[in-house]
Amino acid sequence: MIQFRFGLTPVKDIHPWGGDTPSLSWFSLTDGWYDLVADGHHLLRYPDGTYVDYYVVRLWEDLLDTLPAALEPVPQDLLPFIAGDHSTWLPTDSPDTESAANWYGQHSLDMGYLQSAPDIRWWRTVSESGDDLMTVIWTHAQDVDDGRVTLPTTDFIAAVTDLHRDVFAAMEERVTTLETTGPPPGVAIDLPHLRHEQQDRATWLRRALERTCATDWAAVRAGARLLVPVPPP
């Protein structure tokens, strides 16, 4: 139902950072393209058929940042708020509305560094009968109608895990090759640090899955009522 796809730019074609001393880091070596496919829809594909052209690690980092909040089940009474459109919120400001807005935003995949990027959000629900589901919603995608898909939480975690595994397999091959051949001519790469970063970042998914939230539900509920007041009967 959902899949993260990517490809890396050949090292020889990556533009190094810096002027007089051009260099490549682990981050910059992830230069490439990526896409998010949801229910067959390519959410990060442009009308001309190309995909987002950026550092693949940015998608991975932002995805891991959302995981703790995304995997915290949403109480039933807050489902209308998390599923609603923030453009309809009332212009009000208080500690409670800040708590509610921050909680809402923690369920969004950061696409602010892209032009004309879609709004992609997700949240988890666990019913009394034991149904454990993730809802993925997208709006204003370049070449895709607004939509929504619901899938088992285990499938969502599997898609994130697959991205993590594939990124680090591709980067392991890249790092190992550079350790053997050395950097491209005229480009500096700190190879010991590159290996250290490869090993350290490989632990980030486990750490993200182990993190828990300390949501102040009373503040979120109070803020939601101020931002989207319930109409009188």
Helix pair angle (56-70, 153-181), 10° resolution: 150
Question: Half-sphere exposure (CA, 13 Å, Cβ side) for 98?
Answer: 3
Confidence at residue 94, expressed as pLDDT on a 0 to 100 scale: 94
Specify the pTM.
0.93
Percent of the chain with pLDDT over 90: 81
Average pLDDT, stretch 36-49? Answer: 91
- pLDDT surpassing 60 at residue 233: no
Tell me how far apart the alpha carbons of residues 146 and 39 are, in angstroms, rounded to a whole number: 12
Supply 140's token pair: 């204003």
Give the angle subtended at the CA of 56 by the CAs of 139 and 42, to the nearest 5°: 35
What is the band of 87 on the pLDDT scale with cuts at 50, 70, 90? confident
CA dist 224 to 88, 97, 102, 104, 134, Å? 12, 7, 11, 9, 21
pLDDT at 232: 55
Band (141; pLDDT cuts 50, 70, 90): low
- Contact between residue 90 and residue 228 where contact means Cβ atoms under 8 Å apart: yes
pLDDT in tens, 176-220: 999 999 999 999 999 999 999 999 999 999 999 999 999 999 999
Name every residue whose Cβ is closer than 8 Å to that of residue 217 and which is 6 or more positions away in sequence.
75
Contact 31, 10 (CB under 8 A): no
91-117 pLDDT per residue, tens:
988 999 999 999 999 999 998 888 777
Give the count of alpha carbons within 13 A of 21, CB side only.
4
Contact of 10 with 167, CB cutoff 8 Å: no
Mean pLDDT computed over 1-25: 93
